[in-house]
């Protein structure tokens, strides 16, 4: 049996919405109705042909959002390579490997 550990505060999480959007952010917690995410971002192509992160809500860029669970298909921890890039892009932390 595969056992998955529960998400902890500040884990980088990927959320897939019923619209098809995929949001990355820091997991702040959840309640019955919503997921609480900070620094919500989406992956977007950049002019050089690579990928980058942009704020999910560009016109307001709130520090913390709540996503209604009725709009969520699934959510899980983000793969390490992308989570590390998210951490570097959204903080002053540089990941050393």
Structure confidence by residue, pLDDT tens digits, 13-58: 999 999 999 999 999 999 999 999 999 999 888 888 888 888 898 8
The CATH number of the structural domain formed by 12-90 is: 2.30.30.100
Domain boundaries, the chain: 12-90
Q: What is the pTM of this model?
A: 0.85
Beta strands in 31-71 (DSSP E): 34-45, 51-55, 64-68
């Amino acid at each position: 049996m595969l056992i998955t550990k529960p998400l902890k505060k500040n884990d980088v999480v990927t959320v897939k919405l019923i619209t098809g959007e995929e949001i990355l952010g820091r997991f702040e917690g959840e309640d019955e109705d919503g997921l609480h995410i900070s620094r919500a971002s989406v992956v977007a192509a950049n002019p050089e042909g690579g990928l980058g992160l942009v704020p999910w809500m560009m016109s307001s860029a709130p520090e913390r959002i709540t996503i209604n669970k009725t709009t969520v298909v699934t959510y899980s921890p983000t793969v390490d390579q992308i989570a590390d890039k998210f951490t570097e892009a959204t903080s002053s932390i540089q990941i050393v490997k």
